[in-house]
Amino acid sequence: MARPSWRERIAAARDARDLASRRRVRRAVSHRDGVGCELDGRRLLNFCGNDYLGLSQHFAVVGALQDAAAREGAGGLGSHLVCGHHALHDALEKELADWLGAPRALLFGSGYLANLAVIQGLLDADDICVQDRLNHASLLDAARLAGCRLRRYPHNDPEGAIRQLRSLPDCSAILATDGVFSMDGDLAPLRELAVVARVQKALLYVDDAHGIGVVGPDGRGTAAAARLGVSEVQLQLATLGKALGGYGAAVVGDADLIEHLAETARPYLYTTALPPAQAAATLAAVKLARSEHWRRDKLVELVAHFRQRAQAAGLVLLPSDTPIQPVLVGDDARALSMAASLEQSGYWVAAIRPPTVAAGRARLRVTLSALHTVADVDGLVEALQRARDRAEAEARVADIKNWKPA
C-alpha cells in the first residue's frame, strides 16, 4: 500500500481552512511608532498588540537595550547553566521577584517555554494537571508533552476544578489557570481556586501573561489583586513581551520550586539564554512599570470609555475590565469582513476564529494601550459600527442570492 502524499494532505487541509474562513496569513509591519504602524504602505492605528503600558519603544527601555548591546553584544552565547547567565539576567530576576513579592524568579526565552518547563519539570505520567477550559494553548501542550493526565473544567468554575482533582486523589497535582484570559479578557477566580488547591493539596500555578503590569496593586498581577501570596499561588508566569514591551518570560514563586526547575527543567537547561541586552531593556521596563502608575490609570479610563461607547453603539462585548476587549461577532466570515473594513478605515484589529476560540464565537479582539487617546477610541468605535453595518448588509445580500423556494 502506497503512503499518502504529504502535499495532497497539506493541500486538503488548506482547502478546508479556506472553506471555513479560517486561513491564517502573516502581515509584515514595515515600521512602528507608538500605537501607529505602517502595513502594506498604509499607516494604521494598532488595536491588536499587547504593548499595554506603551513601554516597547520608551526611550529609557530602548536606551538600556542599546547601551547593553554595545557593551555585551547581541546574543546570549550559551545556556544559563553553561556560560549564558549574565549579571544582567541576575539583576532582572531579583527585580522581578522583589516587585511580585516572591523569593525567586527564573528567566525563560518565552512564556511557551516557561509553561512547558513548569508542567514537565513537576509532573510525570502518574500525576494530574487540572486546567481551565480556556487556558492558553501552551499550558495544554505542556500537560500533553509532560505525559501526565490532563483534566479540564468549565471556564472559571472552581467546583468543576475540585471535581476533577477529586477524580484522582492519590497523585501529585497542579491546578493551572490563566490569570487574565487572553481571548476573553476576564480574570480567573483565584481566591476560590486557591481554596480548592489547598483543600486538594495541589500546587496552584497562574499564567499571568496578560495580568502582570496591568492588574492589581502596582501592576503586580492577578494574584496580588486577589490578595494572594506565594503560600497560596506557589508559582506564577510573568511574560516580558506584553505589558513590559520586551521579550521572554519568568516563572516567579517558591524558592525550592524555582531551584528545582533551574536544575531539571529541559526547556531551561537546553536552550540559549536571553541576550543580556534584552534583560537590560526589560529591567528598565520593570522599573517604569513599578513607578509610573499613570499608565495603568490611563488604561482604566480608556477601557471604561471604550465599553461605554461600544455598548451605546450596540456592539456585543464580553465581560472584561482589562485592556483586552473582545467584540463578539459569531460568524468566522463576518469577523474577517469586519476586520478588513476596519483596516480600510485605518484601524488594525485582529479577527480571532476557531480553533483559537470555540466554533460560533469568532470575535474582533480589541486591545488598548496607555498610548491610545480618547479620540483614537472614539474613532475605532465609529469604524466598528460601520464595519458591522456593512457586514450585516453583505450577509443580507448573500441570503437573498442563496434563497431557494421550498
CA torsion sign for 93, 287, 51, 68 is negative
CB atoms within 10 A of CB 379: 15
Residue 36: CB atoms within 10 A of its CB come to 15
Name the catalytic one among 58, 210, 298, 372: 210
State yes or no: 112 annotated in a binding site.
Answer: yes
260 is catalytic: no
Catalytic residue among 85, 86, 242, 372: 242
HEC profile of the chain: CCCCCHHHHHHHHHHHHHHCCCCCCCCCEEEEECCEEEECCEEEEECCCCCCCCCCCCHHHHHHHHHHHHHHCCCCCCCHHHHHCCHHHHHHHHHHHHHHCCCEEEEECCHHHHHHHHHHHHCCCCCEEEEECCCCHHHHHHHHHHCCEEEEECCCCHHHHHHHHHCCCCCCEEEEEECECCCCCCECCHHHHHHHHHHCCCEEEEECCCCCCCCCHHHCCHHHHCCCCCCCCCEEEEECCCCCCCCCEEEEECHHHHHHHHHHCHHHHCCCCCCHHHHHHHHHHHHHHHHCCHHHHHHHHHHHHHHHHHHHCCCCECCCCCCEEEEEEECHHHHHHHHHHHHHCCEECEEECCCCCCCCCEEEEEECCCCCCHHHHHHHHHHHHHHHHHHHHHHHHHHHHHCCCC
Residue 397, all three cell numbers: 445580500
Q: Determine whether 242 is an active site residue.
A: yes
Q: Would you mind telling me the total number of residues written for the chain in this entry?
A: 406
Among this protein's residues, is 401 annotated catalytic? no
User: How far is Cα 265 from Cα 257, in angstroms, rounded to an integer?
Assistant: 11
Task: Tell me: is residue 136 an annotated ligand-binding position.
Answer: yes
At position 254, the amino acid (one-letter code) is D
Catalytic, out of 110, 138, 182, 369 = 182
Flag whether 356 is marked binding: yes
Q: At what angle do helices 111-122 and 137-146 cross, to 10 degrees?
A: 30
Cell numbers of 22, please? 479560517
**24: annotated binding-site residue?**
yes
Give the span between the Cα atoms of 37 and 54, in whole angstroms. 14
* Sequence ranges of the binding site for substrate: 24, 136, 356
Active-site residues: which are they? 182, 210, 242
* Sequence ranges of the binding site: 24, 111-112, 136, 182, 210, 239, 356
* Sequence ranges of the binding site for pyridoxal 5'-phosphate: 111-112, 182, 210, 239
